[in-house]
Chains A and B, each alone.
Chain A
Amino acid sequence: MSHDDELDLGPAPASFAAPEWRVEGTDKVTGAARYVADRTMPGMLWAAFRRSDAAHARIVSIDVSAAKALPGVHAVLTGADIGGVRFGRRLLDQPILATDVVRFVGERVAAVAAETREIAEEAAQLIEVEYEELPAVTSIEEALRDDAPILHPEAASYVYLGGDRPPVPHPNVQGHRVVAHDDDQLERIFAEAPHVFEHTFRTPRQHHGYIEPHASLVWIGEDDVVHVVTTNKAPFTLRNQMSEVLGLPAARIDVDAAFIGGDFGGKGYSPDEYPCYFLARVTGRPVKAVMSYVEELAAANPRHAAVVRLRTATDADGRFLAHEARTLFDGGAYAAAKPLPQLNLAGGSQTLAPYRVPAVRIEVTSVYTTMAPAGHMRAPGEVQALFAGESHVDLIARELGIDPIELRRRNLVRPGEVGATGDRPREARGPELLDAIASATSWDGTRPPNRGRGMAIGLRHVGTGKVNLSVRFDAGGTITVVTGLPDQGGGGHTVIQRVLAATASVSPERIRVERRSTASAPFDSGVGGSRTTHVGSQAAARAGIALRQALEDAAARTLGEGTERIALVDDWLVGEDGRNRVSLGEAAASLVGEAGAIEVDGRFEAGAHGHDEPGDYDYGAYAVEVEVDPETGTVTVVDAVLVADVGTVVNPVAHQGQLVGGFAFGFGGAVLEELGTDESGRVTTLNLGDYKLPTAMDVPPLRVILLPTTIGPGAFGTKMAGELSNTAVAPAIANAIHDAVGVRLFELPLTAERVRRALLARG
């Protein structure tokens, strides 16, 4: 970010300490909040899809005659009908509807629009597709073999948004990234170092588990504008992608993100909006698609499965000398769900990110397979890398006989130092977190048999992007903030309201936050990427300062008769004598005068910091105590502590919710969740009875220790919370299991059966 335009806001206001009343709270507890699936339009049709039964096959023929003949069906489209158009968030490699080849079970082969959802689904089943099977490629290792079938022979022709696609070392590679420094020294150090440790870890595909499946509603207005109501959390970005894919000017696409019923990274991918557009075009009707949960689990955009190979050299005291990591991600059949330029998960490099390592080479590769396209999921890549890295660190500590906290203390970056991945935290708080863990737990205490404790620490950057707000103070004294920032539950709108209230010195009750579609809201990067509180608070502070100035200027003209300076303080207009003259509400009409309103903007854009500049991060560390039943392998978490390096907290209730919710999310990923597949890659856990998410009975109690700082990049020093709390859960539990019963699990989830198998193998 640029530091030239930093505001001097002073300390956080006391109002931030009070529990917030969410701006959308009443709507959400009365059922009035409308999500995409709740929306209907006159004449609306329902879409359903014929999906591939084959993992990899050539389409020999598609017979849609029976589907077309079904009463109530308005249109049936195949890939041929729409001309083989491909879409994506960065690389347009996924066909909207498959044309000649299908590459995963669940790929859309044909789309139906019908009077009702039931008819559309029945028609989709009546479509007959004949396939000629091609070899399936269900593992990363298979995909990278020299003789592996090339899944995208025509890759060179795919459109890449924003420049040139980075080169790849193998045709089945989506993205390839190397993070290195002093890597010419690696082999020498590994050869000479007193200790070298090498381990391989695996993590499975997992689903975001939002309770709201993807949904979209598309119609073409009389003005020829394409209207898209969507669960997408970045509506402007989707608008721009649709503009590229469909060849329409962005001004002719209006994207409206309704309330979003959970995102966790999965709602940036919009596979149904495109076929709905084509169905809407051929039928002249609004068309709605709502994924079933079966479709969600079978073929949405799950977390990437990973294989992480680590090699680390240390000196005799356990100081890291060199680190080599190879992280392989199963990207699935298409890279379409990946937004980053590298077509990769940046988090995959974070294996030893919190630590100082003199020589490093980290290679992160995302690979095409014939599985459903993988996408972003809460701290994408970090979860996989940190499970590996923090398990690896624990193993090193054990083998060297050094306490795991002490080993970390020796290696964590200190102020001014650079971490393994080249990041230089503005505040290197790792050691402080270790102190907090040591004092909050009986780390060195003795424990009964089969009990053990483990810890893990990670860090994650605070995100960047743009938020723009249009603010209007009207004659009734109401302040309306128009934003394009969607609501996915993080509380961004309430952050905007509270920061605006604090900086304008008005009551939050008079502020209304109005989310609008892309046609009538100023540009916004969307909600996610750990950016919302940072960027949103900065935009709101700018709007607040501008509004206060504008109101005070207006008050000076009216109340002050042009000679007296009038201040706005806590909703009161105050004269130079320090006396309250009149409340803002009472003065509103006279302040706005004939214009009827006072309007200001709040704009903020944060860009990535330069390579050598200090960056903003949140550290998070977990300490977990478990009890293991060695006979069954069952693991019970008896204590869990999160120490969180956080910035200024604006919404204390939501902030706590993000931390505890992140723990539950990480806990599910650590011990329960795995998208099971058969040998062809077909998902076998096709409902929430088989893909188990943690319940209120499953999530262990969590103690949260906040270590606040005020140097965050957001207004008043805010940072982020949503993605700091889910990453370190799994390695902390794995390390505690090792401490309890002496076995190491190298693969997630950490199930009872795996614990028991490891115990039996040890004998």
Chain B
Amino acid sequence: MSEHTIRFELNGTPVTATVPADRTLLDLLRTDLGLTGTKEGCSVGVCGACSVLLDGELLSSCILPAVFVDDRRVTTVEGLATDGRLTPVQDAFIRHGGFQCGICTPGQLISATALLAEVEAPTEATVRQWMMGNLCRCTGYEGIVASVLAAAEQSG
């Protein structure tokens, strides 16, 4: 199997890594780089626990070949808060019941961050449509939707 040296920006820091061709971005993050905030759930791109941003675009890292991030910019949940200051989305998830067990939360936060970057003041319907890709078994989504709407208001 071929190995590839890839260079990319991870949460604002340049990273060089050598990966086998079949490495997923998720395994690169979690196993090779020890960044375990991004979670593995369904492993088939459905549940959204592994959501990351690639050049600001929302993707499933569990089905994304690591070689695809060469030359690109990756953002994970660890890259949201700066200097310990939570983003409005993170803060809203605590205040409005956006999580319970927390396992899907990194993915939810990344997904919500991508949404608010694209749509400044989304409607509830837009939030639900967008967040449909991030399964949560705890909250029934009400708290998540409320969190995203509150964060939009906060940022806007």
**Which B residues, 32 to 68, have Cβ-Cβ distances below 8 Å to chain A?**
34-44, 46-47, 49
Out of B97, B99, B101, B134, which one reaches A210, CB within 8 Å?
Answer: B101
Q: Mark A472-501, 1 if CB is under 8 A from B, else 0.
A: 000000000000000111110000000000
B140 contact from A29, A263, A657, Cβ within 8 A: A657
Residues of chain B lying within 8 A (CB to CB) of residue A658: 100
A86 an interface residue at 8 Å Cβ cutoff?
no
Give the contacts of A372-401 with B (CB-CB under 8 A): none
Residue in contact with A32 in the complex, picked from B37, B42, B101, B132, CB distance below 8 Å: B37
Q: Are B105 and A695 in contact (CB under 8 A)?
A: no
Tell me whether B128 and A688 are in contact (CB under 8 A): no
Residues 651 to 669 of chain A near chain B (Cβ within 8 Å): 653-654, 656-658, 660-665
| A210 CA / B136 CA spacing, docked (Å) | 8
Give chain A residues whose Cβ lies under 8 Å from the Cβ of B97. Answer: 653-654, 656-657
A593 CA / B49 CA spacing, docked (Å): 48
Asked if B36 and A211 sit within 8 Å, CB to CB, the answer is no
On whether the beta carbons of A211 and B49 are closer than 8 Å, the reply is yes
Asked if residues A489 and B138 are in contact (CB atoms below 8 Å), the reply is yes
Chain A residue contacts of B36, Cβ below 8 A: 31, 34-35, 37-38
Please determine whether A293 and B105 come into contact, CB atoms closer than 8 angstroms. Answer: no
A29 vs B91: C-alpha distance in the bound complex, in angstroms?
A: 8
CA distance A653 to B81 in the complex (A): 23
List residues of chain A with CB within 8 A of the CB of B39. Answer: 35, 37, 211-212, 261
Interface residues of B in 1-60 (CB under 8 A from A): 30, 34-44, 46-47, 49
Once the chains bind, are A262 and B142 in contact (CB under 8 Å)?
A: no
With a CB–CB cut-off of 8 A, which chain B residues contact A688? 41-42, 44, 46-47, 135
Give the residue name and chain of the B residue nearest to A652 (CB).
Answer: B97
Q: Is A26 an interface residue (CB 8 A)?
A: yes
- Return the contact of A31 from the options B76, B93, B100, B101 (Cβ within 8 A): B76
Instruction: Tell me, in angstroms, the Cα distance from A211 to B136 when the chains sit together.
Output: 7
- Picked from A19, A213, A697, the residue with its CB within 8 Å of the CB of B132 is A697
Cβ–Cβ contact B137 & A264, under 8 A: yes
A689 and B49 CA atoms in complex are apart in Å by 14
Closest CB of chain A to B104's CB: distance in Å?
5
B-contact bits for A271-296, CB 8 A (1 contact / 0 none): 00000000000000000001011100
Cβ contact within 8 Å between A21 and B94:
yes
Note all chain A residues with C-beta closer than 8 A to B30. Answer: 38
Contact A489 B102 (CB under 8 A): yes
Q: Is the CB of A259 within 8 A of B101?
A: yes
Q: How far is the CA of A757 from the CA of B129 in the complex (A)?
A: 30
CB pair B96 A653 closer than 8 Å = yes
Task: Report the minimal beta-carbon distance from B122 to chain A, rounded to whole angstroms.
Answer: 12
Q: A660-B140, A688-B135 are in contact. Are A261 and B102 (CB under 8 A)?
A: yes
Q: Would A696 and B102 count as touching, CB distance under 8 A?
A: no
Give the contacts of A434-490 with B (CB-CB under 8 A): 487-490
Please encode chain B, from 82 to 95, with 1 for each CB lying within 8 Å of some chain A CB and 0 for all others.
00001000110111
Asked if B99 and A29 sit within 8 Å, CB to CB, the answer is: yes
Q: Can you name the residue of chain B whose Cβ is closest to the Cβ of A657?
A: B97
Contacts of A654 in B (CB 8 A): 97, 100
Which residues of A lie under 8 Å from residue B34 when comparing CB positions? 40
A210 / chain B contacts, CB cutoff of 8 Å: 101, 103, 137
- Cα separation A22 to B86 with both chains bound (whole Å): 14
A9: Cβ under 8 A from any B Cβ: no
Report B108 CB to chain A, min CB distance, Å. 9
A663 to B137, CA, bound (A): 11
A24 adjacent to chain B (CB < 8 Å): yes
A35:B144 contact, CB within 8 angstroms: no
How far, in angstroms, from A667 to B109 measured CA to CA in the complex?
A: 24
One of A262, A292, A697 near B101 (C-beta < 8 A): A262
| Contact across chains for B137 and A292 when beta carbons are under 8 A apart | no
Closest to B107 in A: A211
> In the complex, A275→B25 CA distance in Å?
30
Cα(A97)–Cα(B90), bound, Å = 44
Contact (Cβ within 8 A) B90 A657: no
**Identity of the chain B residue whose Cβ is nearest the Cβ of A490 in the assembled complex:** B100
User: Residue B155 at the A interface, CB < 8 A?
Assistant: no
- Complex CA distance for A636 and B155, rounded to whole angstroms: 35
Q: Which residues of A contact B136 (CB under 8 A)?
A: 211, 696
Question: Given A211-B47, A293-B42, is A28 in contact with B138 using a C-beta cutoff of 8 Å?
Answer: no
Question: What is the CB-to-nearest-CB distance from A379 to chain B, in angstroms, rounded to a whole number?
Answer: 15
For residue B46, give the distance in angstroms from its CB to the closest CB of chain A: 4
Whether B93 lies near A489 (C-beta < 8 A) is no
What distance in Å separates the Cβ of B19 from its nearest Cβ neighbour in chain A?
A: 13
0/1 interface trace, chain A 1-37, chain B, CB 8 Å (1 if under):
0000000000000000001011011111111111101
A671 vs B57: C-alpha distance when bound (angstroms): 33
Flag if B140 contacts A262 (CB, 8 Å).
no
Confirm or deny: A687 has a beta carbon within 8 angstroms of a beta carbon on chain B.
Answer: yes
The answer to the question of A556 belonging to the interface, with a C-beta cut-off of 8 Å to chain B, is no
Expressed in whole angstroms, the minimum distance between the Cβ of A287 and any Cβ of chain B is 16
A40 CB contacts on chain B under 8 angstroms: 34
Q: How far is the CB of B50 from chain A (nearest CB, A)?
A: 10
Q: Cβ of B152 < 8 Å from any Cβ of A?
A: no
Interface string of A677-695 (1 = CB under 8 A from B): 0000000000111000101
Q: Write the chain A residue with the least CB distance to B141.
A: A696
- Shortest distance from the beta carbon of A659 to any chain B beta carbon, whole Å: 8
Interface contact B128-A697, CB-CB below 8 Å: yes
* CB closest chain-B residue, reference A19: B95
Separation of A28 and B127 alpha carbons in the complex (Å):
21
A211-B103 in contact (CB<8A): yes
User: Would you call B132 and A696 a contact (CB within 8 A)?
Assistant: yes
Interface string of B118-133 (1 = CB under 8 A from A): 0000000001110111
The answer, yes or no, to whether A209 is at the interface (CB within 8 Å) is yes
Q: State in angstroms the CA–CA spacing of A19 and B143 once bound together.
A: 13
Chain A positions within 8 Å of B47 at CB level: 211, 688
Q: From A21, which residue of chain B is reached at the shortest CB distance?
A: B94
Query: Max chain A CB contacts within 10 Å: which of B129, B131, B143?
Result: B143
Residues in A with CB closer than 8 Å to B91 are 29
Q: Is the CB of A211 within 8 A of B142?
A: no
Complexed CA–CA distance, A696 and B133 (Å):
8
Say yes or no: A31-B135 contact (C-beta < 8 A), given A654-B97, A661-B140: no
Closest to B144 in A: A696
Q: Within the assembled complex, what's the spacing in Å between the Cα atoms of A660 and B95?
A: 16
Interface pair A26/B143, CB less than 8 Å apart: no
- By beta carbon, the residue of chain A nearest B98 is A29
Q: Is the CB of B81 within 8 A of A30?
A: yes
What chain A residues lie within 8 Å of B80 (beta carbons)? Answer: 30
Residue of B nearest to A116 (CB): B31
> Is there an interface contact between B137 and A30, defined as CB atoms closer than 8 Å?
no
Interface membership of A260, Cβ < 8 A: yes
Give the distance in Å from the alpha carbon of A30 to the alpha carbon of B103 in the complex. 12
A651's nearest neighbour on chain B, judged by CB, is B97
In the complex, B77 has a CB within 8 A of chain A: yes
Which residues of chain B have C-beta atoms less than 8 A from A346's C-beta?
A: none
Q: Return chain A residues, CB-CB under 8 Å to B76.
A: 31
Nearest CB in chain B to that of A290: its residue: B40
Pairwise interchain contact A665-B137, C-beta atoms closer than 8 A:
yes
Interface check A589, CB cutoff 8 A: no
Extra 5 A-B pairs, beta carbons < 8 Å, given A27-B102, A210-B137, A259-B101: A29-B99, A654-B100, A665-B137, A696-B136, A702-B142
A-B contacts, 29 of them at CB < 8 A, read A24-B102, A26-B94, A29-B91, A29-B99, A30-B78, A30-B80, A31-B35, A31-B37, A31-B38, A31-B77, A33-B102, A37-B40, A38-B30, A38-B36, A210-B137, A211-B39, A211-B49, A211-B135, A261-B101, A263-B101, A290-B40, A489-B102, A491-B100, A656-B142, A658-B100, A660-B142, A661-B139, A662-B140, A664-B139
Chain B positions within 8 Å of A, measured between CB atoms, are 30, 34-44, 46-47, 49, 76-78, 80-81, 86, 90-91, 93-106, 109, 127-129, 131-145
Q: Give A contacts to B, CB under 8 Å.
A: 19, 21-22, 24-35, 37-38, 40, 208-213, 259-264, 290, 292-294, 487-491, 653-654, 656-658, 660-665, 687-689, 693, 695-697, 699, 702
Q: Please give me the 5 A-B residue pairs with the lowest Cβ-Cβ distance, nearest first.
A: A31-B37, A261-B103, A489-B101, A664-B140, A489-B100
